[in-house]
Amino acid sequence: MGFPVVLSIGEVLIDFISEEVGVINKVKSFQKCPGGAPANFAVGLARLGVDVAFVGKVGNDPFGEYLIEVLKNEKVNTENVIKAQKNERTALAFVSLDEDAERDFVFYRKNAADLQLTEKELKLEYLTNAKYIHFGTVSLTEEPSRTATISAIDKCREAGGISCFDPNLRLDLWDNLKTLREIMDKVLKKTDILYPSLEELKFILQREDIEEQEAVDLIMKKYPIDIVALKRGKEGCLIKKREDFFLAVPSFDVQVLDTTGAGDGFNVGFIFGLLEEKSIQEAGIIGNAVGALVVQKKGAMTSLPTREDLQEFLKHQKVEIGI
C-alpha cells in the first residue's frame, strides 16, 4: 500500500461558531463546525488532492463519530484516528466574532480525548513513510499526547521526513507558561519549517520590542530551522530560508467575513506549494491565496478551497503558477 505523504498530528474538535456578531455571553445561536488546527490542515491538503493522514484521538461520543465521518468524507486517511475507550470526550470550542471578524475563544477541554493519544498508539509505518509531519502546541499541553507528539516528530524526521510547526499559541490552555516555554524550546530544536505570527515570535523570544526581520533572524540563529514563513495577516507573509534573502509576499485584497482558519489556510497552501516543487516565493503566494479564500467564508474547515477553487482564484488574480 502507498502511505500518505503528509501527516498532521493533534486535535480535532467541534467549533461552535456564533451566528451573529458579539461577545459569547450575548450571542444567542451557534453553528456546529468541525475544527482543530491540525485537522483543518489535513482537510485543506486533501481538498487540494494531497494524500494526507490525520493522527489523533476522539471521544467515543456522537461528536467523535461525526468528526471521523467528516475526515473520511474529505478523503483524509483516518487509520491513525483512535476512538477513546474511557470517559474522555471530544473537545469543544465556542467562537465569537467581533465587528472586524476577529475571533474570541472559549474552550471546553476537561477530559479531552485528543490529549489521551499515547505513544503506543502511533503507527510507525506511517511515520517513517511521510515526507512531512505538521503539528501545533495544543497536543503538547498535557501527557500522554505530549510524549506521543514529540515521538511522532522524532520518528518521522529520523526517517528523512520534514517537521512543520505552527505554534498556534493558546496561552489559556497552559497552566504554567514556564512549562510552555520549555516544551517549545524542545520542539523548536526539532523543527524544519516554522510558520508563526509576529506575536508568537515575540513570546518565544521574550522580546516585545522586536521587529519582524530581527525576530526571524534571532529564531533561526537560536534553532536549526530551515524555513520561517511569518504570517502577517492582511499584510501577507515574510519568508526566510536559511542562507537566503528575506521574501515579502503581499496578500490578496478580498472581502473578509471570518478570519477563523486563515492561518491554517496559509499553512495548507505553503506546504502544498512545496509538495508541488514550487519556489519558496510561489509557495508563499499559494499560502496567501488559500488564506484569502478561507476568510471570505464562515468557519475554518468548511471554508477551505478545492484545487479548482484555488486555480480559479489565482487565474482571477492574474497569478501564473501552474498547480
**Residue of 114, 166, 258, 264 with catalytic role:** 264
CA pair distance 16, 19, nearest whole angstrom? 9
Which CA distances in Å does 13 have to 174, 256, 281?
18, 24, 32
Stretch 88-110: mean pLDDT, rounded? 84
Whether 217 is catalytic:
no
Confidence of residue 64 (pLDDT cuts 50, 70, 90): very high
Q: 236-261: b or e for each residue (b if 16 or more CB lie within 10 Å)?
A: bbbbbbeeeeebebebbebeeebbbb
Residue 229 pLDDT > 90: yes
Residue 102 pLDDT > 90: no
Q: 137-167: b or e for each residue (b if 16 or more CB lie within 10 Å)?
A: bbbbbbebbbebbbbbbebbbeeebbbbbbb
* pTM (global) more than 0.85: yes
Stretch 120-144: mean pLDDT, rounded? 97
Residue 98 pLDDT > 90: no
Instruction: Return the domain boundaries, the chain.
Output: 6-316
Tens of pLDDT, residues 175-188: 999 999 999 999 99
CA atoms within 13 A on the CB side of 196: 27
Question: What pLDDT was estimated at residue 51?
Answer: 98
Confidence of residue 253 (pLDDT cuts 50, 70, 90): very high
CA pair distance 53, 111, nearest whole angstrom? 24
Residue 21 pLDDT > 90: no
Which CA distances in Å does 214 have to 157, 218, 224, 297?
28, 6, 16, 34
Tens of pLDDT, residues 195-219: 999 999 999 999 999 999 999 999 9
Task: Please state which of the four CATH numbers 3.60.20.10, 3.40.50.2300, 3.40.1190.20, 3.40.50.970 is assigned to the domain occupying 6-316.
Answer: 3.40.1190.20
Residue 251 pLDDT > 80: yes
On average, the pLDDT of the chain sits at: 95
Nearest CA-CA partner of 286 in 225, 235, 227, 237 = 237
Residue 101 pLDDT > 70: no
- CA-based end-to-end distance of the chain: 26
Stretch 1-14: mean pLDDT, rounded? 94
Tens of pLDDT, residues 264-308: 999 999 999 999 999 999 999 999 999 999 999 977 898 999 999
Q: Is the pLDDT higher at 110 or at 66?
A: 66
Question: What pLDDT was estimated at residue 260?
Answer: 81
Question: What pLDDT was estimated at residue 199?
Answer: 97
Residue 1 pLDDT > 70: no
Question: What pLDDT was estimated at residue 314?
Answer: 97
Whether 17 contacts 106, CB under 8 Å: no
Residue 71 pLDDT > 70: yes
- Cell numbers placing 231: 504570517
